Amino acid sequence: MKTSYKILAIDSNHECLNNGLREAGFIVDEDYTSPKEIIEQKINEYDGMIVRSRFPIDKDFLAKATNLKFIGRVGAGLENIDEEFAAENNIVLFNSPEGNRDSVAEHGIGMLLMLMHHLRRADNEVRNGIWKREENRGDELRGKTVGIIGYGNMGNAFAKRLQGFEVNVICYDILPNKGNEFARQVSLEEFFEQADVVSLHTPQTPETMQMINEEFISKFKKSFYFVNTARGKSVVTKDLVEAMKAGKILGAALDVLEFEKSSFEKLVASELPDEFQYLIQADNVVLAPHIAGWTHQSKIKLAEFIRDKILDWKNNH
């Protein structure tokens, strides 16, 4: 058994992660500023990496990481890592969806309630001396069917938070036997027929890229509210906007956008397309800058889960 593993952390995280690994005997170096080209030149010295989303961990990068045994991604998704190449080279990947699922679930509920009760618009109006009551009459969640697409950590946590609202919760997932006491798993056909609210909780994969498009939206029997706390590139924004204009989508709560950089740190360009301009001006849209999983508590939990998974890995090697 190797006694001392070297890890390179390229993104900053809660101190419990690096400190915990050092206490367990790991050597942890930190480099939060060097460009990818510089990191590539030294990555062959390391057994492990700690990343968030600073730059893609692609095939070319991994090919230079000749001693790499694991990568810990402090977050839920792994789309910024070439998973196939990592698997071919026996590099174990750890992520931590358990760390921010509570935050994402609460955030999704909050955005949905803001949307259905016109709270964003009403708050802005009152701040500007406008007092409209009838125009801001809301829509109750009780009695509606909430449909969850993707029933993993995030979908489960969202369904659990819905229990007190007296709603019918259904879920669709590509894997069988995912339903539980919080949501009944249904076929996609039944999902299209029943949903009044659609909440997206899928990872970014080739299958989910641009999944929410005109064809997909047109299959819903009823008009519905749409919540996305997953990945922006799963939605064709132009098609979403057209569906909103047509009344097929009653409103959208979007924590993530198609126009984000892969690092999630900013929008792609200063001049964004017309459909983005529509979103920022529409009354029936609630927006946030990819912060659903971004709480004081989740920062600690994300780091703790990655730390513990790496320690478990060490104990088995």
Residues recognised as catalytic:
231, 260, 290
* β-bridge pairing 168-172 and 184-185: parallel
Task: Kindly tell me the burial class for residue 129, based on how many C-beta atoms sit within 10 Å of its own C-beta (0-12, 13-18, 19 or more).
Answer: exposed
Q: Which residues contact 42 (CB under 8 A, 6 or more apart)?
A: 8
| Cα distance from N-terminal residue to C-terminal residue, the chain | 6
Could you give the CA distance from residue 284 to residue 117 in angstroms, rounded to a whole number?
10
Task: Kindly tell me the burial class for residue 37, based on how many C-beta atoms sit within 10 Å of its own C-beta (0-12, 13-18, 19 or more).
Answer: exposed
Residue located via tokens 């047109």: 218
Could you give the CA distance from residue 48 to residue 104 in angstroms, rounded to a whole number?
28
Could you give the CA distance from residue 231 to residue 207 in angstroms, rounded to a whole number?
13
Q: Which helix (H) or strand (E) holds 161?
A: helix 153-161
Q: Which residues contact 1 (CB under 8 A, 6 or more apart)?
A: 317
Cross-sheet strand order for the sheet of 27-30:
27-30, 6-9, 48-51, 70-73, 92-94
Determine the 3-state secondary structure of 48 from DSSP: strand
Sign of the alpha-carbon dihedral angle for 124, 126, 131, 133: positive
| Of the candidates 180, 241, 173, 237, the residue with the CA atom closest to the CA atom of residue 205 | 173
